[in-house]
Amino acid sequence: MFKLQGDYIVNEKGQVLDVQGGNDSEGQNIIVYNRNSKVSQKWRIVYVDEDKEEPKKGELNEDFGLYVERHFYVESALPTKRLLESHGNNLVINWPVGSATQKWYFDQRTKTIRSVAQTNKSWDIQSSGKSTNLQIWNVNSNWW
């Protein structure tokens, strides 16, 4: 289970999404790690429809800090502002291209963050939570 808390995306164990090694480069791996306040752990949610003049879709889930089933990007606070992207099942940062692999949404029913490109997959910590590597995996509502 992940929640947005300020600039951090935090799991139930208090670990945060982190760009591995703080390396601001194409294809850099995303992990979960203990909070250390480095810029590689800070993110900004950018809703896909933010610039449109249409009414907002869904409602805000205040416990999770995310709008229900409203597509968003996850932007790194590193200088290049790369976006979180699924590369196969792995999560990495890449240049913004607007592809479905860079879009996410919060599913109220399962309380998971799902991939727009692969709607049957959500954020997951590899090896049933015994790893630090963040991936997308079949939705099973187990939040490691």
Res 144: pLDDT: 43
> Higher confidence at residue 140 or residue 77?
77
* Residue 66, Cβ density class (10 Å: 0-12 exposed, 13-18 middle, ≥19 buried): buried
**pTM confidence score:** 0.66
Q: How far apart are CA 131 and CA 128, in angstroms?
A: 8
Structural domains for the chain: 2-138 (2.80.10.50)
- Which pLDDT belongs to residue 116? 96
At residue 51, does pLDDT exceed 60? no
Per-residue pLDDT tens digits for 6-22: 999 999 999 999 999 99
Position 52 confidence tier, pLDDT thresholds 50, 70, 90? very low
pLDDT value for 128:
77
Report pLDDT for 53.
Answer: 41
Element (H, E) at 65: none
